[in-house]
């Protein structure tokens, strides 16, 4: 056979192969299957506080109880066992497996617990009928992944021991080394970068990981590593500046819905090094970067230097709506405060001897330890918290987490949170007359509610309320910090949360965004409609996108189960990986049903609603008309409308 003939045959084979490949791609799109680089992406989930199962890693005999703890038994959260232990007055047995030593963060001598692994560790904390919504976390999200055809090895959970401070996570479990290997393994396995989904405290964990990574990778390769391994970061319900409820848990206890007393819950919470990780702090106080000092030839210190801007002392409340803590202390004389800071001594200068006095503390005074120093003569817990605060946070060699965030150097950052929920922003405490740990009682609570501050009794309170309120757990001031990551010009879109045809969509283009000030869109609101407001910027930082999604009435814990959020996440990811996408962000022009569950029966018209998308299709087992309304085409075909 001649050389020319061989070349002709090879050319024909190549042409046929290219044509077949194009046909296969068209067929795949016609069949509603994902195209582009979708098959290469991985999703890495970092859960929030108390959202990972803990299992016993030792034997513990519980006296006067038929329930003992054996290796791999659920410790957090086995509600059935904890209820029985409580009824049998053997809750101290369970606590041995949960509590940590407050000074060195080691396990109890008689019981050891460790975080579970895999997706099962974060989907449901306590599978069963008793706990219900209390324990269901990422299960619905995994269902969506399965429904849209995501491969099993494409979704990776990275659970952690949420009781530990960041430095202890690395010291005891090498957590951040393992997380780095997880990203690198996902890249080798799937061939593409990962999408990070972090909820609540999981965002703090991810922030610390990014700072830790700077010291693990050569400076010139740091951004390259991020670009290769992380496509997008979805920060959901992140307490960027902390949460006020953390202080309440430290002084009076938060039960997490468990059948334990608030005093017991307080003991448990304050034994965790992570309890201070979510303390509120000032946006005006920062710490020097160890990373840049190390590589710029500066003097290397053991921990970042903490300093505050002059605005911290010129403005009230550290930029928060009100003081974080107002506490009544029975004064016995000035010598009762041997180690109080100058700020506290100034407050004490006008006190009358022997009378209870109300002290108020801002977010800075909580995070820098002033508050805990002020009550250490009346509360034994304060000394332990001060030790943790200094050792685990102020002196952390990687990062002082109680400082404001900068935008992560990731190509695509999406900040998502709920708004317009009644959220606690300040508390009043007084001595209860009971012994420790029940020695403090909450006498009043200050809430933010849709632009105003109200007390527990319903009275208006003076302060600096934001334009909106938080997500019932984290105040709006903390959630919305990521708006500072947007550039000087922002496109704003407001749409109804439900499926819509586009007639109610409101758009403002190139809205001016002043750094440090909230962006308030000039848009109408119907009291009967829940909205999503999108703030999008793809111009300020070359080749990077930043977006903020504010979801009306989305609860902090339940937001990861919100069908509205999952729908928007899917559309954005689908848009990002599709080869035919031209816009920077997914279109907001309309929202139709994506799944059979989104179709329903319209009794007024006696047909399935959204007839363009849904049709009546009875299947055996349907018990009502709505169940028989199903999509006319596959979910993949529906997604093609949003390219």
The string of pLDDT tens digits covering residues 435-464 is: 999 999 999 999 999 889 999 988 999 999
Examine the pLDDT at 79 and tell me if it is beyond 80. no
Sorting pLDDT into bands at 50, 70 and 90, what band is 141? confident
Percent of the chain whose pLDDT exceeds 90: 60
Amino acid 81: pLDDT: 58
- Window from 84-88, 209-213, 406-410, 445-449 with minimum mean pLDDT: 84-88
pLDDT at 335: 37
Biggest CA pair distance of the chain: 111
Choice between 583 and 636, residue whose per-residue pLDDT is larger: 583
Helix-strand-coil split of the chain, %, nearest 5: 35, 20, 45
Confidence at 41, pLDDT banded by 50, 70, 90: confident
pLDDT digits (tens, 9 = 90+) for 470-507: 999 999 999 999 999 999 999 999 999 999 989 999 99
Looking at the predicted structure, is the pLDDT value of residue 131 above 50? no
Looking at residue 443, its pLDDT comes to: 95
In angstroms, rounded to a whole number, what is the distance separating the alpha carbons of residues 189 and 44? Answer: 13
Query: In this predicted structure, which of 92-96, 271-275, 328-332, 585-589 has the lowest mean pLDDT?
Result: 328-332
CB-CB neighbours of 1 under 10 Å: 6
* For residue 420, pLDDT beyond 90: yes
Query: Which positions are catalytic?
Result: 200, 471, 515
For the segment 598-607, the average pLDDT, to the nearest whole number, is 93
Confidence of residue 274 (pLDDT cuts 50, 70, 90): very high
Q: End-to-end distance of the chain based on CA atoms, in angstroms?
A: 49
Decide if pLDDT at 311 tops 70: yes
Residues with Cβ < 8 Å from 342, sequence gap 6 or more? none
The 3-state DSSP class for residue 251 equals helix
Q: Quick one: pLDDT band at residue 87, thresholds 50, 70, 90?
A: very low
The pLDDT, as a whole number, for residue 19 is 34
The rounded mean pLDDT for the chain is: 84
pLDDT for residue 4 is more than 70: no
Cα–Cα distances (Å) from 329 to 22, 161, 380, 431, 440, in that order, read 76, 35, 14, 7, 10
Per-residue pLDDT tens over the stretch 346-398? 444 444 445 678 999 999 999 999 999 999 999 989 999 999 999 999 999 99
User: According to the model, what pLDDT value does residue 132 have?
Assistant: 37
In this model, does residue 298 exceed pLDDT 50? no
From 257-271, 397-411, 520-534, 609-623, the region with the lowest mean pLDDT? 257-271
Sign of the CA dihedral running 57, 119, 37, 203? negative
For residues 628-640, average pLDDT: 84
Residue 33 reports pLDDT greater than 70:
no
Structure confidence at residue 245 (pLDDT): 94
Count the neighbouring beta carbons within 10 Å of the beta carbon of residue 302.
8
pLDDT of residue 340: 37
pLDDT at 70 over 50: yes
- Indicate the SS3 state at residue 643: coil
Per-residue pLDDT at 522: 92
pLDDT for 153 equals 82
Name the more confident of 430 and 260: 430
**Confidence band of 533 (pLDDT split at 50, 70, 90):** very high
The two tokens of residue 584 are 């920077």
- Residue 331 pLDDT > 70, yes or no? no
With a pLDDT cut of 70, the percent of the chain lying above it is 83
Q: Is the pLDDT of residue 20 over 50?
A: no
Tens of pLDDT, residues 541-557 = 999 999 999 999 999 98
Convert the pLDDT of each residue in 226-249 to its tens digit.
Answer: 999 999 999 999 999 999 999 999
* 3-state SS, residue 393: helix
Q: What was the pLDDT predicted at 564?
A: 93
At residue 549, the pLDDT reads 98
Q: Which residues contact 188 (CB under 8 A, 6 or more apart)?
A: none
**pLDDT single digits (tens) 150-180:** 787 888 999 999 999 999 999 999 999 999 9
């Amino acid at each position: 056979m001649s050389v020319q003939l061989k070349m002709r045959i090879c050319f024909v084979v190549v042409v046929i192969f290219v044509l077949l490949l194009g046909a296969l791609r068209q067929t795949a799109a016609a069949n509603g299957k994902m195209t582009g680089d979708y098959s290469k992406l991985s999703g890495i989930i970092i859960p929030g506080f108390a959202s990972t199962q803990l299992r016993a890693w030792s034997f513990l005999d519980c006296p006067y109880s038929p329930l003992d703890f054996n290796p791999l038994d659920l410790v957090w959260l086995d509600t059935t066992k904890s209820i029985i232990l409580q009824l049998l007055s053997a809750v101290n047995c369970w606590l041995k497996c949960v509590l940590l030593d407050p000074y060195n963060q080691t396990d109890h001598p008689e019981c050891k617990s460790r975080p579970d692994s895999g997706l099962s560790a974060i989907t449901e904390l306590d599978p069963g009928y008793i706990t219900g919504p209390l324990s269901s976390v990422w299960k619905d999200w995994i269902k969506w992944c399965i429904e849209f055809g995501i491969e099993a090895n494409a979704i990776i959970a990275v659970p952690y021991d949420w009781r530990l401070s960041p430095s202890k996570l690395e010291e005891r479990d090498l957590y951040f080394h393992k997380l780095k290997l997880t990203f690198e393994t996902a890249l080798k396995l799937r061939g593409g970068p990962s999408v990070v989904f972090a909820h609540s405290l999981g965002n703090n964990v991810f922030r610390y990981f990014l700072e830790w990574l700077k010291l693990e990778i050569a400076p010139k390769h740091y951004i390259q590593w991020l670009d290769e391994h992380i496509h997008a970061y979805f920060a959901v319900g992140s307490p960027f500046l902390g949460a006020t409820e953390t202080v309440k848990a430290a002084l009076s206890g938060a039960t997490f819905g468990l059948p334990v007393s608030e005093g017991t819950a307080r003991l448990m919470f304050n034994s965790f090094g992570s309890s201070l990780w979510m303390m509120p702090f000032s946006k005006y106080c920062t710490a020097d970067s160890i990373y840049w000092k190390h590589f710029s030839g500066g003097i290397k210190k053991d921990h970042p230097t903490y300093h505050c801007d002059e605005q911290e002392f010129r403005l009230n409340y550290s930029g928060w709506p009100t003081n974080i803590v107002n506490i009544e202390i029975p004064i016995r004389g000035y010598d009762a405060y041997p180690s109080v800071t100058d700020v506290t001594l100034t407050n004490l200068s006008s006190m009358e001897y022997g009378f209870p006095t109300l002290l108020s503390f801002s977010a800075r005074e909580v995070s820098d330890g002033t508050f805990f120093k002020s009550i250490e003569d009346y509360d034994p817990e304060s000394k332990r918290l001060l030790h943790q605060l200094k050792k685990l946070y102020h002196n952390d060699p990687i990062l002082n987490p109680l400082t404001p965030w900068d935008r992560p150097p990731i190509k695509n950052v999406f900040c998502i949170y709920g708004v317009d929920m009644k959220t606690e922003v300040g508390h009043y405490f007084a001595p209860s007359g009971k012994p420790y740990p029940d020695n403090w009682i909450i006498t009043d609570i200050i809430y933010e509610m849709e632009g105003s501050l109200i007390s527990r009794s319903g009275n208006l309170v003076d302060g600096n309320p934001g334009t909106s309120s938080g997500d019932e757990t984290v105040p709006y001031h903390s959630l919305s910090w990521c708006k500072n990551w947007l550039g000087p010009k922002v496109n704003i879109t407001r749409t109804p949360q439900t499926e819509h045809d586009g007639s109610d969509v409101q758009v403002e283009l190139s809205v001016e965004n002043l750094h440090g000030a909230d962006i308030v869109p000039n848009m109408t609101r119907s009291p009967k409609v829940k909205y999503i407001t999108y703030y999008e910027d793809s111009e300020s930082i070359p080749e990077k996108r930043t977006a903020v999604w504010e979801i009306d009435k989305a609860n902090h814990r339940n937001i990861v189960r919100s069908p509205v959020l999952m729908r928007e996440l899917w559309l954005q990811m689908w848009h990002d990986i599709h080869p035919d996408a031209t816009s920077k962000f997914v279109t907001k022009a309309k929202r139709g049903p994506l799944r059979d569950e989104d179709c329903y029966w319209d009794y007024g018209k006696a047909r399935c609603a959204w007839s363009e998308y849904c049709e009546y299709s009875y299947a055996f087992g349907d018990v009502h008309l709505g169940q028989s309304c199903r999509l006319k085409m596959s979910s993949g075909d529906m997604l093609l409308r949003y390219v």
